[in-house]
Structure 1
Amino acid sequence: MSVLSDDRRLHGQLIGRQGSRADLNTPVLVLDLDVLERNIATMAKAAAASGARLRPHAKTHKSVDIARLQIAAGAFGLCCAKLGEAEALAAGDIPNLHITSPVVSAPAIARLAALNARGGGLSVVADDPDNVAALAAAASPDHPLEVFVDIDPGIRRTGVASDEAAVALARQIADAPALRFGGVQKYCGREQHIEEFAARREAILAQTEALRRTIAALTEAGLAPPVVTGGGTGTHRIDLELGVFNELQVGSYVFMDDQYLACGLTEGEEPPYERSLFVDARVVSANHGPLVTVDAGFKAFSTDADPPAVLDGAPAGAKFAFMGDEHGAVIAPGVSEGLKVGDLVRLAVPHCDPTVNLYDSYHVVRGDTVVDIWPVSARGRSR
C-alpha cells in the first residue's frame, strides 16, 4: 500500500466533512489552502509587475500539487535542490526544472542525461571544469543540456570564486555541442535571514554590485548570460527593485515559517505573506500542573531552529519544549487544569523545508475542514 493511500485510508472519510480537521490523527502536517493560494498569488503578482520570471524553489514544499498551483499562477517552472526532487516533479509533468546544486557522480549524471532527454526544459548548475566535461560527455547534441555557472556569494559552499573562473566555465559550456550556456546563478542564502530590512538591503546591495561585475566580465567576453537567477523570499523585494535578477528562486513564501516571519520582508508595510503550514498535535498526558504532554517531538519538527511556537489550543503565553522523539511539553501555569487528554494544540513550523521532509502528506484544509490530502512527492529525495 502506498503512503498516500495509507493516509487516505486513515483520513479519506474526513475530506469534505465540516470541522474534520479536529478528527485528524496526530501529529499531522496541516496546510491552509486559502492562505497558500493568497501567498502564491501575491508573489506571482510582484514578479510579473517587475518583469522577472518566477521559478519557485520546490525544496520548500517537495509537492507536485503545490507546483501545479504555482505554474497555474504564472510561474515559468520550478527549482529543485537535488536531482531526485527534479525526477519526482517531472513524473508529475512539471516543466522547466532547474537543479540548483551541482550533479557530479557518474550514476547521477547518467540519470540527469536521461531526464533531460525526455524534454521539458531541464537545467543544472556547475562550478567545476571537470564536472562540465562530464556533463558534456553524457548529454546529447540532439537534446543539449542547459548549464548555468554557479557563483559563490561568499559562503564557500558551491560556486566559482572569481569572475575569471566564471568566464572560463561559461566558455567551456558554450563551446560544448551537447551543452547550452543558460546563464548564471547566485543565491545569497546568508542574507535571506537578516531580520532588519535596511541591514538586509545593504548586504544585498554589496552582493548585487559584485554580481554586476561578473555579468560585465561575461558580457565583455561575448558570453552575456541570458538568465540571471537567484534571490529568495527574504530578499525578493530588494532583488526586484535592483533589477539584476531576471529570474527569482523564491521558496518559503508559500508557507512562511518562523524564520521568515521574523524578518521584515518589506519596509514599513504589513507582511505580504501569511503562515499557511502547521503541525497539529494532541494532548496525551495531563498529570502535572504546569505542563501537559503532546504527541509531537523531535520526529515531528526539524530542530535546527527555535522550538515551535504554540499558536492555538493552549493558554496565551504557553511555551513548547521537546521531551523526546515522540513527545513535547506545552508549558504554562496551571495548563493541565484547562487542557485534558485528547485536546488539540496547534503548533508553528520553525523551519519549513526539513520539517516537511518528515511527513508523507499534507492534510489540506479550508478553515477547519479537510478538503484534500496531497503527497509530499519528493520526500527523502536527497540524491
Structure 2
Amino acid sequence: MQLGDLTTPALIVDAAALESNLAAMAARWPGETLRPHVKAHKTTALAARQAAHGATGFTCATIREVEGMAAAGLGADLLLANEVLDTRRLGRLDARVTVAVDSPETIEAAAAGGVREVLVDVNVGMPRCGCRPDDAGALADRARAAGLTVRGVMGYEGHLQAWPDAEERATLTKTAMELLLAAHRDVGGDVVSGGGTGTSACNPYVTEMQAGSYALMDSAYTAAGVGYVQALHVLGTVVHVSAARPDMPAYAVADVGLKALGMDHGNPTIPGAQVWFCSDEHVTFAADDPVRVGDRVLVIPAHVDPTVAYHDRMHVVRDEEVLETWPVDLRGW
C-alpha cells in the first residue's frame, strides 16, 4: 500500500523518526527506569516496540488501557497513574497492576477491588490529583493497614512539561521533585515515579520516568525544544482552493478538522503554510506555494494524545510506502 491509497484524514507515523525517538529515550532512561505512558499513543503494537527497546513496565491512564496491555502480553508491571473508584476489573486481571491513590476513598476502592499494590500520588504543583506532601505518610500507613503494598510515591509535574525556557524548566522541576522526595521519605518504598517527555532531560530525581509523547511528538513539545523529532502527522487531502480576490488572499482547504485533531493546545501546523482555522471537517490554510485540489498535505497536531484518540488506526510509513497498519486498540474506557 502507498500513501496515495489511504483514505484521509489518516494518522501516519514516520518509521525512521519513531525509531529515532524510541532509541533516544531508551538510551537516556534504559530498561526498568523508563515506564512509557501509553496514553500518548493508545496502541499495543507501539508499546511492544517500546518493550523491544528495553521497557519492562508501562504507565496507563485508563482501566481500558490496563486491560488492553494485559491482553497483549504486556502486563508484567502496569501502573494506572490515575485515581479510580471502580477497581473490580483491575483485580481480575492476570497482570501486575499498581494503582495511584491519594485519599482514603481511593485506598478503600483499591482494596475492595482486589488491587494489591499502590503508589501514593502527591501533588507537586499541578492542581489536579495528588495529596498534599505532608499527608502522604499517613495515607501510606492507611493503605498498609488495608492490606495493600505501598511501592512508593508518584508525582507529575505536568505544568512544567512544555515550559518554554529549558533552564527555568529544570529549576522548577527540581522544586517540584523536592516535594515528591520529601513525601517519599515519609512513605517509603522503592519507587519514585514521575516525569514526562518535557522533563525527561532535567529530572534525575525519579527512579522511573513516565514519558509518553516522545515516541510520536507534537508541535507543542517541538516548540519547547525537548529533543525528539516529529514522527506523527495527520495526512489530509486538499478539497478546495480559492484564488486571491481583492478582499481575500488565496487559501486552500484540506479534510483534517476538529474531529481529527486535538485542539486544546491550539491550531495544528502545516509545513510551508499558515493555518487560519479549523472547523468540524476542515482546516483552512494559506500555502507558501500553490496547491491544487487533490494534493496531499501533512498536518502536525499541537497535542498528540487526544489526536491519536480520535483515530482507530495508525499507518507506519517510509517515504511513500505504508509498512504496517496498527489498530489504536486502547481507545475508550
TM value normalised by structure 2? 0.94
Q: State yes or no: 1:110 paired with 2:88.
A: yes
Specify the SS of the correspondent of 1:310. coil
Maintained 8 Å contact 1:61/1:356: yes
Per-residue deviation at 1:46? 0.7
User: Quick one: structure 1 residues 52 and 134, their matched pair in 2 at CA, closer, same or farther if it must change by over 3 Å?
Assistant: closer
Which of 327, 330, 333 is equivalent to 1:375? 327
Maintained 8 Å contact 2:124/2:157: yes
Specify the SS of the correspondent of 2:51. helix
Per-residue deviation at 1:342? 0.6
Per-residue deviation at 1:93? 1.3
Q: State yes or no: 1:92 paired with 2:72.
A: yes
Superposed CA offset, 1:47-102 (max 9, x none): 13xx8611100000000001000111111211111111111221211121110101
Specify the SS of the correspondent of 2:224. coil
Cα separation, 2, equivalents of 1:102 and 1:64: 22
Equivalence map 1:323-342=2 (5 Å): 323-332=278-287, 338-342=290-294
Cα separation, 2, equivalents of 1:138 and 1:47: 32
Cα separation, 1, equivalents of 2:184 and 2:332: 36
Equivalence map 1:178-197=2 (5 Å): 179-197=148-166
Equivalence map 1:214-363=2 (5 Å): 214-218=183-187, 224-240=188-204, 244-265=205-226, 271=227, 273-289=228-244, 290-311=250-271, 316=272, 318-332=273-287, 338-363=290-315
Maintained 8 Å contact 2:124/2:177: no
The aligned residue for residue 247 of structure 2 is none
Whose radius of gyration is greater, 1 or 2? 1
Per-residue deviation at 1:21? 1.1
Cα separation, 2, equivalents of 1:280 and 1:90: 31
The aligned residue for residue 156 of structure 1 is 127
Specify the SS of the correspondent of 1:237. coil
Aligned residue type for 2:81: T
Maintained 8 Å contact 1:97/1:121: yes
User: Quick one: structure 1 residues 309 and 153, their matched pair in 2 at CA, closer, same or farther if it must change by over 3 Å?
Assistant: same
Cα separation, 1, equivalents of 2:59 and 2:219: 22
Q: State yes or no: 1:170 paired with 2:162.
A: no
Aligned residue type for 2:320: D
Which of 340, 364, 376 is equivalent to 2:316? 364
Per-residue deviation at 1:323? 4.7
Maintained 8 Å contact 1:297/1:322: no
Superposed CA offset, 1:109-147 (max 9, x none): 2112112xx2x21111001112212322332xxxx6111
Per-residue deviation at 1:280? 1.0
Cα separation, 1, equivalents of 2:184 and 2:312: 42
Gaps of 5+ in 2: 245-249
TM value normalised by structure 1? 0.82
Cα separation, 1, equivalents of 2:8 and 2:112: 49
Specify the SS of the correspondent of 1:98. strand
Aligned residue type for 2:139: L
Cα separation, 2, equivalents of 1:202 and 1:93: 39
Maintained 8 Å contact 1:309/1:320: yes
Equivalence map 1:49-60=2 (5 Å): 53-60=33-40
Specify the SS of the correspondent of 2:17. helix
Specify the SS of the correspondent of 2:198. coil
Structure 1 residue runs of 4 or more that deviate by more than 4 Å after TM superposition: none
Aligned residue type for 2:282: H
Cα separation, 2, equivalents of 1:211 and 1:342: 53
Cα separation, 2, equivalents of 1:208 and 1:157: 16
Which of 182, 201, 214 is equivalent to 2:170? 201
Per-residue deviation at 1:328? 1.6
Cα separation, 2, equivalents of 1:373 and 1:67: 14
Aligned residue type for 1:126: V
Gaps of 5+ in 1: 1-13, 15-19, 219-223, 266-270
Maintained 8 Å contact 2:89/2:113: no
Per-residue deviation at 1:176? 2.9
Cα separation, 2, equivalents of 1:175 and 1:258: 46
Specify the SS of the correspondent of 2:221. helix
Which of 46, 52, 56 is equivalent to 1:76? 56
The aligned residue for residue 7 of structure 1 is none
Cα separation, 2, equivalents of 1:62 and 1:323: 24
Measured on the aligned residues, the alpha-carbon RMSD in Å equals 1.6
The aligned residue for residue 65 of structure 1 is 45
Cα separation, 1, equivalents of 2:157 and 2:90: 25
Among the aligned pairs, what percent are the same residue? Answer: 37
Maintained 8 Å contact 1:52/1:248: no
